Structure 1
Amino acid sequence: MLSKIWSRGGPAAGYLVIRHLKSFALLVSLPIGVLFGWAVPGLTAALVELANSERYAAAGYLGRSKAEPLPSALSRRTGDVVTLFKDRSFRRSLRCLLMPVVMIPELVVAIVSVVGAPSAVLSMLLWKVESGSASLMGLDVTSWGQALTLGPLQVLVSLGLLGWVTPALAKGHARAVLTMLEPSQEQLETAKLEQRVEELTKSRAGAVDSHGAELRRIERDLHDGTQAQLVSLAMRIGIAKQTMADDPEKAAKLLDDARDGAEQAMTELRGVLRTMYPPILADRGLVGAVSALAARCPLPVELRIGELGEVPAAVEAAAYFVVAESLTNITKHSAAGHVDIQFERRGSELYLAVTDDGIGGARVSEQSDLLGRGSGLHGMLHRVQAIDGHMELSSPIGGPTTVEVILPCG
């Protein structure tokens, strides 16, 4: 029974005591905040953070999921009072100033509920040692009759406060905090839009960088490969034209070499084009293209593909290259013995997961590590973000490694 009462009242009393300590610190710092808050942006931002910490603590005590925080205080210059009073988060967090007012009676109840029973037992046992120095229920104890009457009464009152009153006060306080400091719906929508804009800005910058790197790669491949082949082809044809009359056999040999060079140039050009949009996607679709990648992989690959429906071309290409890059990374770096690939449609999104049983330790980085790992995953991330997708990498040391990608198809 006592353990049940303590399990109810102990956390409640602790919650209220901590709230009192924070409200006391707020009360002490209040004159400084009032005098200098308009001039020091950090003080008003700290008040917003205090309000959010109170919301988190209240939600935690009530066993709720993490409460929606107030958006951060608006950035402003020193002495910018206009921005200060336009800041909705700051105005809402001013309600924290009510904490010192309501916390005194709550603190008294919390302390009495915790120390009331132990002090009653001590007073009952020790009142005779120093007669008149012990008190029970606020009355001085001068006889065993008072001790044996008021002592159990104080224990019962204390246990009642601990088991029922203190938890009720703590819950009421937590609910009041969540209600009073709750951001408005407009604030939440604005914060979500700002976060979305920030995410899109980052993904756009990444997509632009990735696109630029891809263009440079294509230009380098064309310059170093196909263009060199075409220049050599033109020179051979020119030499064959000059020697046609004097040495027909040599000219014929040069033309044969030129034909072989033309075929090689076409092969290299097709290879460059495949990196832009693989023809196999147009010929066999995403399922057939991924099946071909799995068939060419030197490791055993298990494919689990559900009904995908209609998938946009950009999403098909991104998914194809994610699988291709993943299989390449696994083959080169993972020391895996098996690969699992899962495709499925989840509403308006395409879900893709590639899992291997290798050594793990994969990380997304702009530059390759000493083992040549990381940059390929960085390119995959940019390719996914470029079409507003999301990629998660889980690769603990020792494995397994899982790459999960969600691509919008709407």
Structure 2
Amino acid sequence: MVTKILSRGGPACGYLAVRFLIGMGLLVSLPLALLVVWLPDVRRGLVRLARFERSQAARYLGLPEAVGTWSFKRSLTLLGLPFVAVPELFVAVVAVVGAPAALASMALWKVDPGNVSLMGLGVDNWLEALTLGPLQVLVSLAVLGWGAPALARRHARVVYDVLAPNEAEQLSQRVEELTRSRAGAVDSHGAELRRIERDLHDGTQAQLVSLAMRIGIAKQMMAEDPDRAAKLLDDARDGAEQAMNELRGVLRTMYPPILSDRGLAGAVSALCARCPLPVELRLGELGHVPAAVEAAAYFVVAESLTNITKHSAAGHVDVLMERRGPELYLAITDDGIGGARVSAQSDQLGRGSGLHGMLHRVEAIDGRLELRSPIGGPTTVEVVLPCAS
């Protein structure tokens, strides 16, 4: 219980404390900056701060971080940060210091009776110390586990909403996202073609060349040494089987055979059944799903379950897949530690690159992927894939 309270309250108090420091820094530096710095530089600095604050709010809430431009007028709302940061810091201090201070006051009240306080009241006897002390511990733990996280989420949500880009900025952001997704899809497609070419060249092609040589040698030796020729043909047969297995492996990465055999619902059910963690699978009506969408959905579930098993420390996974009009909706949720991020390179724990590849696979067919993974969890990957032909 205490561990859960600390995991919830620690990041919340840290978030509120940093907002206080930024607010006080803004309060002190802005008047000086207006005196000694060019106004356009001040404007740019405030816009960059607004972008940073919304990014931090999105990170804390586990929401996607918006990119693009921010207007100066919207950034002016940050001038109210110092006024809300002071009471927020008070809550964070109470949450962090309240319990240790209560234990210290309970033990040391006799050193200075009447001047040691618990719950804001002076303590001059053991009855008050043993009554007010545990009460202050409980109150501070409640603030740490529930009050501070609720306040931090509320602050982050207000910042996230108030500093949201307007329609023109959202349109510009969407254009940038489409440009980036198309470039990523082209790069991903090129990398996939190079991988397939490499697998075929280094594996299957080498096996087929060796197979042709063995058959040719066996044909020449058939009359003079039939036993050795027969052995070469046996080796050639084994080589042909190995080449077929390698070719199946290459094809499996392009379109898993289980999708052809059992359909998308059956393939995803098999993935969930093989997962070492308990998985609750909820399947709605899927209707007709194009092959490219089937493959993308299958690989999203496979990669998500792999990531959860390796990195999340989760105890349960929930998978929802259903048709919503012309789109296939997919959501994978786990109750793990959270903190997942999409990045091109893996972090020190090996996380991130798998989600990056998943994002490219989804965007390549004009789908959308949203990751929500606040610190402490839960983590949800939502994917929407267009199914209209």
Alignment map for 1:8-407 (pairs within 5 Å): 42=40, 193-407=171-385
Deviation (angstroms), 1:320: 0.8
> Alpha carbons of 1:338 and 1:225: their partners in 2 closer, same or farther (altered >3 Å)?
farther
Mapped to 2, the partners of 1:265 and 1:306 lie a distance apart of 40
- Local SS of the residue matching 2:362: helix
Q: CA deviation at 1:191?
A: 5.3
Are residues 247 and 260 of structure 1, via their aligned partners in 2, closer, same or farther at CA, if it must alter by over 3 Å?
Answer: same
Give the counterpart letter for 2:312 in structure 1. Answer: S
The 1-side partners of 2:174 and 2:363 are apart by 13
Shift of 1:304: 0.5
So what's the TM-score if we normalise by structure 2? 0.55
- More displaced 10-residue stretch of structure 1: 386-395 or 356-365: 356-365
Helix, strand or coil at the partner of 1:362 = coil
Cα 1:248–1:378, aligned 2, differ >3 Å: closer, same or farther?
A: same
Q: Give the Cα separation in 2 of the matches to 1:41 and 1:204.
A: 38
SS at match of 2:239: helix
Output one character per residue of 1:257-304: Cα deviation in whole Å (capped at 9) or x when no partner. 211211121111112112112233233221112112223333332210
How far does residue 195 in structure 1 lie from its aligned partner after superposition?
Answer: 3.4
C-alpha distance in 2 between matches for 1:328 and 1:342: 17
Instruction: Give the counterpart letter for 1:303 in structure 2.
Output: L
State the shift of 1:196 in Å. 2.8
2:172 counterpart letter in structure 1: E
8 Å contact kept, 2:70–2:169:
no
1:192 deviation in Å?
Answer: 5.1
Unmatched 5+ stretches in structure 2 = 1-33, 51-68, 74-165
Letter in 2 for 1:378: H
Q: Secondary structure at the match of 1:218?
A: helix
What's the CA shift for 1:193? Answer: 4.3
Separation in structure 1 between the aligned mates of residue 366 and residue 216 of structure 2, nearest angstrom: 51
1:351-398 Cα distance to aligned partner (Å, 9 max, x none): 211123344443222122333322111100111112222212233445
When residues 325 and 249 of structure 1 are mapped into structure 2, their CA distance, relative to the original with a 3 A threshold, is same
1:34-57 per-residue CA deviation (whole Å, 9 max, x = no partner) reads: xxxxxx9959x88xx8xx9xxxxx
Inter-CA distance 380–72: structure 2 relative to 1 (3 Å threshold): closer
- AA matched with 2:238: D
Cα–Cα, structure 1 residues 330 and 232, in superposed 2: closer, same or farther, change >3 Å? Answer: farther
| Alpha-carbon separation, structure 2, partners of 1:252 and 1:226 | 23
Query: SS of the residue aligned with 1:392?
Result: strand
Distance 1:330 1:250, change over 3 A: farther
- CA distance in 2 between counterparts of 1:41 and 1:198 reads 29
> RMSD of the alignment, in Å?
3.7
Percent identity over paired residues: 82
CA pair 373-243 structure 1, distance change in 2 beyond 3 A? farther
Amino acid across the alignment from 2:366: D
Change (3 A) 1:226 1:338: farther
Determine the structure 2 residue equivalent to 1:103.
none
Partner of 1:80: none
Closer, same or farther: CA 201–242 of 1 in aligned 2, 3 Å = same
| Secondary structure of residue in 1 paired with 2:259 | helix
> Residue type matched to 2:299 in 1?
F
Larger Rg over CA atoms: 1
Secondary structure of 1:199's match? helix
Q: CA deviation at 1:72?
A: 7.0
Deviation per CA, 1:290-341: give whole Å up to 9, x if none: 1122233333322101112232322222111101111222333334443221
Q: Is the 8 A contact 2:314 2:334 kept in 1?
A: yes
Residue correspondences, number: 248
**Residues 203 and 249 from structure 1, CA distance in 2 versus in 1: closer, same or farther, beyond 3 angstroms?**
same
Unaligned runs of at least 5 residues, structure 1: 1-28, 30-39, 53-70, 74-88, 94-187
Between 373-382 and 217-226, the greater mean CA deviation after superposition: 217-226
Paired AA for residue 238 in structure 1: G
